[in-house]
């Protein structure tokens, strides 16, 4: 059982709000094998993702270009990891949604119903609900 599946099985219900510098950044709700992650602060989300991928926040135009090139280079391996987690969640009957300010961006797991996004992701366990918001978040 993967870490993501174990967390999904353990969480019965509840709500957590993560704040940074007294500003709400992320809200996480869990109920009935469904975990909803609502990102409120886009910069906090980007910094968190950069930290987990080993990257760092680059400044200026050249820094943004380097960061984008780095994201493109690592995208296949990160997608592979995400695909693996999403399929494990689906097998366990667990759903995780990522939203930005209340609008669902991505659904992972059992309730994912991809249409065209399965061609891009290679799995039926990942649904891209809002490609525009996904690009806006820079994920």
Three-state secondary structure call for residue 122: coil
Would you say the pTM of this structure is higher than 0.85?
no
Asked if 4 contacts 85 with a C-beta cutoff of 8 angstroms, the reply is: yes
Q: Which domain holds residue 73?
A: 3-137
Q: What is the pLDDT of residue 56?
A: 52
Give how many domains the chain has, as a whole number.
Answer: 1
**What is 31-99 written as a DSSP string?**
ETTEEEEEE--HHHHHHHHHHHTT-----HHHHHHHHHHHHHHHHHHHHHHHHHHHHHHHHTT-EEEEE
- For 18-68, write each residue's pLDDT tens digit: 988 888 999 999 998 899 999 998 888 777 766 665 555 556 666 666 655
- For 74-119, write each residue's pLDDT tens digit: 445 566 788 888 999 999 899 999 999 889 999 999 999 988 777 7
């Amino acid at each position: 059982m993967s870490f993501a599946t174990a967390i999904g099985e353990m969480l019965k219900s509840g709500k957590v709000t993560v704040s940074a510098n007294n500003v709400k950044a992320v809200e996480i709700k869990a109920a009935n094998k469904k975990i909803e992650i609502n990102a409120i602060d886009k910069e906090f989300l980007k910094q968190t993702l950069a930290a987990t991928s080993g990257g760092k926040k680059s400044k200026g135009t050249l820094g943004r270009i380097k960061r984008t090139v780095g994201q493109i280079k690592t995208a296949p391996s990160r997608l592979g990891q995400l695909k693996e987690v999403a399929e494990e969640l689906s097998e366990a009957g667990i759903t995780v949604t990522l939203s930005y300010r209340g609008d669902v961006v991505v659904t992972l797991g059992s309730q994912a119903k991809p249409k065209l996004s399965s061609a891009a992701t290679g799995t039926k366990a990942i649904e891209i609900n809002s490609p525009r918001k996904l690009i806006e978040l820079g994920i």
